[in-house]
Amino acid sequence: MSAEKKRDFQIVNHSVPRRDGPAKVTGKAVYVSDVKLPAMAYAKVLRSPYAHAKIVSIDSAKAAARPGVYAVLTSNDLTGLNLYYGHAVKDHPLIAVDKVRYAGEPVAAVVAQDERTAFEALEFIDVKYDELKAVLTPKEALDKGAALLHERTFEAGALRGFEGEVAAGRGSNICQESHLKWGDVEAAFARAAAVVEGEYYFPMAYAYAMEPYVAIAEVSDNGVTIYSSAQHPFMVRHDLTTVFKLPVSQIRLIVPFVGGGYGSKSYTKIEPLVAACAWKAQRPVKLQLSVEEAMLTTRSDDALTWMRTAVDAHGKIIARQARIYMNTGAYAENSPLVCEKATNRTVGPYSIPNVQIDTYSVYTNTVPASSYRGFGCAQVTMAGESQIDELATKIGKDPYEFRLANVAKPGEEFFPKMRPFDGTLKQDLEIAAKALDWQQTPPKGHGKSIGCSTSDAGAYPLTSTVIRVHADSSVSILTGSTELGQGSHTVIPQIVAEELGVPFEKVRVVASDTAITPYDRSTGASRTTTLMGRAVLEASREAIEQMVRMAAELLKIKTDAIEVVRGGVRCGEARLTWSEIISRYYGLPDGEVIGRAYIRKAGDFSKPPVFWETACTGVEISVDEETGLIRVEKLATVGDVGLAINPALAEGQDIGAATMGMGVGLFEELVYEGPQLVNGSILDYRVPRFSDMPRQVEMHLVENQDGVGPYGAKGGGEASLNSMPSNIANALYNATGVRIRRVPLTPEKVWRALKERQ
């Protein structure tokens, strides 16, 4: 069904103007908590100046004796706790134990009456180190005789998201490896009409959410309570049960509105450390990182990819082979799953009969890598989409036409043993080409490109929810999904308002409190609208079924004689609203009906992935050959979202993702000189500004209702990042004839390449 075709149902009361007019919304999400904290203390962290060193001794007596200091925490003070946690690999100590593995790792923490006192006390902690040789790249880490980061073996985390043995700590610096193969790759390359081969690099990047990490913890006889900016409160809860050896019922995570995440706030970050500080100080403690400290906490995996791709005489892709080395940093975090996903996503959105992908996630003495918007796809799409253009050029094909001939078709099982493709890439590409006036030759010094990607998205389908329909027809939704600014707490109430036929203003969200809200595995991988949206839809329908039975009892008729209408039921001339049903059933102007839903890996969700997240992006750039400066003049995004329940929010996600991709393509990169991160600050790390935005932007949504989410929706919000770095590299080639395979394409890098061309 085209985006223009009128929908056969109504979505009511949007938080932002729709294309067909404004809609007023006054509803707000509500966060419920019965925790009252006594006077709070503040923690500051002492960080290692070395990338790799043994800790010989720590003398904290002078710091502990400072006025206003309540406690000093080191690994020596944590007897009785389990110091290691990790959802993928349990390799991460909550504070450095015996040695440090990257410059910036927490070594000690001071808890004091205020942040200034705590910060000043750090100067009085004396740490003696025995420096060790550091390894900073996968190549160094895999060299024979390289220093090992981890000498002890680790067990797999309970929530790693995939099956397979743990490679970490088994005599090498390999954290995880992943291999994918089908067909006969060597035979395909032997008979190929054309082959391209190259090495490509995607840099370390920081997700740069507006809010750095912050957490408040209280540890008492009743257990552990933490307020946190975590994306996945239930996963953090699980790690804390490991650290404190407590049952789930005694760990409580409460997550208010989060100021952005983009994957950087996925999984456990500072929560075990701040909880240990509260445990040691015997009072509630707040730990709030600066932007600079947050940059020393997580980043994207940088990736070096060797790839070759082959076509036959008819221009059909017949083989792809790749070896990928991902720089995981000092601890596993989520990199093992990123490794697995990067392997899958190297195939791209193409139907390729012969594939061999080998991916290695490697420990190094750098900041730990983890989830980053795109989740492994951005890293490998840089290589894959660059090679598509290179192949098209080599065989004399238009890159747009070449993609049209090779992308997976709707319903095609292009990836063995996975869900058939649920996108419409031919339509997506046509929209992008039209937006860019593809057939129109650009001015001199300008270049155009189109790119696309698809990801096995949605993460593991484990979600539950409860809705409470009250006697006045208002509704409360209990959801474990976290609001990160992506708008889920607008979309979820919209679905419930639609199902129950009540005004949006009467629907409230109670969210992300593990003591109150039902279990939701995670908020990420573009899963919330699809999985939590489907759950609240089913919970609403269960509540309606209950109220139909209540109405049948009140009217003394059979349930099949009752017709559900908007906001209630009717039978002949008799009509009852939800409010009237509940009030009359209980005999009081109060009471409620509870609807529940449980999503698991079964039924519609039995075959992975939950959905294929698909998008196209197109750019036109200008290149100043005197300076090497690239400017994006036009940008087109096409999100294949199934159905945009809130179009403005969906478009906002697409432009946001494309902007992040543009940042990596042009200037974002965490830079190391030796073992030290040299641009890890708010001033030195360059992110896109308003002045960098294209003069012309077109955002399109393809809405064919082909997803498993509510009303045919699929997730969005990541895919428009994935192809942007390769878009810029391909457009640079089309403008100047210069091919650069390492992003970002900074002015200096472009200028030097242009000079080498001459």
Q: Per-residue pLDDT tens for 107-131? A: 999 999 999 999 999 999 999 999 9
CATH of residue 537: 3.30.365.10
Query: Which pair of tokens denotes residue 111?
Result: 């808890």
Question: What pLDDT score does 681 carry?
Answer: 93
Question: What pLDDT score does 162 carry?
Answer: 81
**Ranges assigned E (strand) in 312-459:** 317-329, 355-363, 369-370, 446-457
Q: Is residue 139 part of a domain?
A: no
Indicate whether 458 pLDDT > 90. no
Query: Which pair of tokens denotes residue 610?
Result: 């939950």
Helix then strand then coil, in percent of the chain rounded to 5, is 30, 30, 45
Residue 167 — pLDDT band, cuts 50, 70, 90? confident
Tell me, yes or no, whether 440 and 544 share the same domain: no
Tell me, yes or no, whether 644 and 740 share the same domain: yes
Tell me, yes or no, whether 659 and 525 share the same domain: no
Q: Is residue 657 part of a domain?
A: yes
Indicate whether 702 pLDDT > 90. yes
Tell me, yes or no, whether 618 and 595 share the same domain: no
Tell me, yes or no, whether 533 and 430 share the same domain: no
Q: Tell me how crowded residue 474 is: count the other CB atoms within 10 A of its CB.
A: 17
Question: What pLDDT score does 37 carry?
Answer: 52
Tokens 């990047």 — which residue?
Answer: 205
How many domains are contained in the chain?
Answer: 2
Tell me, yes or no, whether 550 and 623 share the same domain: no
Q: Is residue 620 part of a domain?
A: yes
Q: Is residue 19 part of a domain?
A: no
Tell me, yes or no, whether 631 and 516 share the same domain: no
Give 294's contacts (C-beta < 8 A, 6+ positions apart): 206, 212, 213, 264
CA neighbor of 269 nearest in space, from 245, 243, 298:
298
Question: What pLDDT score does 29 carry?
Answer: 40
Q: Is residue 721 part of a domain?
A: yes
Question: What pLDDT score does 195 carry?
Answer: 98
Considering 605, 629, 653, which residue would you say is the last residue of a domain?
A: 605
- Tell me what the pLDDT averaged over the chain comes to: 93
Question: What pLDDT score does 152 carry?
Answer: 86
Tell me, yes or no, whether 425 and 477 share the same domain: no
Question: What pLDDT score does 198 carry?
Answer: 97
Q: Is residue 474 part of a domain?
A: yes
Q: Mind listing the pLDDT tens digit for each residue in 44-79?
A: 999 999 999 999 999 999 999 999 999 999 999 999
Tell me, yes or no, whether 626 and 753 share the same domain: yes
Average confidence (pLDDT) over 392-401: 97
Distance (Å, rounded) from C-alpha 455 to C-alpha 612? 5
- Position 220: which residue type? S
Tell me, yes or no, whether 613 and 581 share the same domain: no
Indicate whether 257 pLDDT > 50. yes
Considering 553, 582, 605, which residue would you say is the last residue of a domain?
A: 605
Considering 559, 580, 605, which residue would you say is the last residue of a domain?
A: 605
Average confidence (pLDDT) over 443-458: 96
**Ranges assigned E (strand) in 123-206:** 126-131, 174-182, 194-202
Query: Which pair of tokens denotes residue 327?
Result: 């720089």
Q: How do beta strands 369-370 and 676-677 pair?
A: unpaired
Q: Is-contact 412 421, C-beta < 8 A?
A: yes
Contacts for 426-429: CB closer than 8 Å, 24+ residues apart: 427/702, 427/704, 428/452, 428/614, 428/615, 428/616, 428/638, 428/640, 428/702, 429/400, 429/403, 429/404, 429/616, 429/638
- Boundaries of domain holding 438: 415-458+609-757
Q: Is residue 546 part of a domain?
A: yes
Average confidence (pLDDT) over 441-468: 95
Stronger pLDDT, 301 or 160, i.e. the higher one? 301
Q: Is-contact 132 53, C-beta < 8 A?
A: yes
Tell me, yes or no, whether 452 and 487 share the same domain: no
Q: Is residue 54 part of a domain?
A: no
Tell me, yes or no, whether 749 and 615 share the same domain: yes
